[in-house]
């Protein structure tokens, strides 16, 4: 599914913090200066390497911190390849519970209805926290490079960019940055195990500023009932 580069709703604090967080400074670009234009086929291969081959459920702890307060809780994300996600998060004793179903960069539904305003500014950052890269929108300029040290690529639509850098090793790391008009919207840093499952993730957004840390408790294959993609009925 083609994606918009950015989610156009405002960032607000809340328990649906899968997409909220930040830092105090805006780091420079992550894709090396030597990156060159690359073909869509090459980028598709790099992206495919990040997409789970089967349905998975991730369970995690989250901790959100800004300059004034902190909050934490637990959550889960069910991912069905290539680009469907159902996630559920809550604070202590179920406080602030929120859920959503997303296909690519499009929410199918959000509960409660205003929770969408509490999401982080970019769907690519959401997916990146689970170690998944997104394909570029049609007409986007793409440059990248691949060697034994890293695979790095960047999508550019004018001064709006999404950049990914994957570095092999134990653990493997994926760093994702999103910029709007040259300004850093957010940065996701995800650590992956030898099977490509996320171990930890940190999302930062300078404009808040705040930070969200995810610590993954488990990742497992799972069969999903069709009704998980539908909102709960009262």
pLDDT confidence bin for 119, thresholds 50/70/90: low
Neighbours of 13 (CB within 10 A): 15
- Cβ atoms 71, 64 nearer than 8 A: yes
**Topology (CATH) of 17-217:** outer membrane lipoprotein receptor (LolB), chain A (2.50.20)
The pLDDT > 90 percentage for the chain reads 57
pLDDT in tens, 92-112: 878 888 888 999 988 898 887
Convert the pLDDT of each residue in 32-66 to its tens digit: 778 899 999 999 999 999 999 999 999 999 998 88
pLDDT band at 231 (very low <50, low <70, confident <90, very high): confident
What is the rounded distance in angstroms from the CA atom of residue 206 to the CA atom of residue 137? Answer: 25
Give a three-class secondary structure readout of the chain.
CCCCCCCCCCCCCCCCHHHCCCCCCCCCCCCCCCCEECCHHHHHHHHHCCCCCCCEEEEEEEEEEECCCEEEEEEEEEEECCCEEEEEEECHHHCCCEEEEEECCEEEEEECHHHHHHCCCCHHHHHHCCCCCCCCCCCCEEEEEECCCCEEEEEEECCEEEEEEEECCCCEEEEEEEEECCEEEEEEEEEECCCCCEEEEEEEECCCCEEEEEEEEEEEECCCCHHHHCCCCC
**Single pTM value for the model:** 0.85
């Amino acid at each position: 599914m083609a994606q918009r580069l950015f989610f156009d709703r405002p960032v607000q604090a809340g328990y649906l913090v899968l997409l909220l967080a930040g830092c105090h400074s805006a780091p420079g670009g992550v894709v090396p200066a030597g990156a060159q234009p690359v073909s869509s086929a090459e980028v598709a291969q790099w992206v495919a390497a990040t997409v789970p081959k089967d349905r998975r459920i991730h369970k995690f702890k989250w901790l959100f911190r800004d300059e004034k307060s902190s909050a934490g809780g637990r959550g889960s994300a069910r991912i069905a390849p290539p680009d469907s996600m159902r996630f559920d998060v809550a604070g202590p004793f179920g406080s602030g519970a929120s859920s959503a179903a997303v296909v690519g960069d499009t929410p199918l539904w959000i509960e409660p209805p205003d929770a969408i305003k509490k999401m982080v500014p970019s769907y690519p950052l959401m997916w990146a926290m689970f170690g998944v890269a997104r394909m570029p929108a049609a007409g986007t300029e793409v440059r990248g490079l691949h060697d034994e040290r890293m695979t790095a690529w960047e999508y550019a639509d004018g001064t709006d960019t999404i950049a990914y850098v994957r570095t092999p090793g134990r653990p493997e790391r994926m760093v994702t940055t999103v910029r709007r008009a040259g300004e850093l919207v957010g940065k996701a840093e995800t650590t992956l195990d030898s099977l490509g499952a996320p171990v930890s993730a940190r999302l930062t957004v300078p404009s808040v500023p705040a930070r969200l840390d995810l610590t993954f408790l488990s990742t497992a294959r799972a069969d999903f009932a069709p009704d998980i993609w539908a909102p709960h009925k009262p």
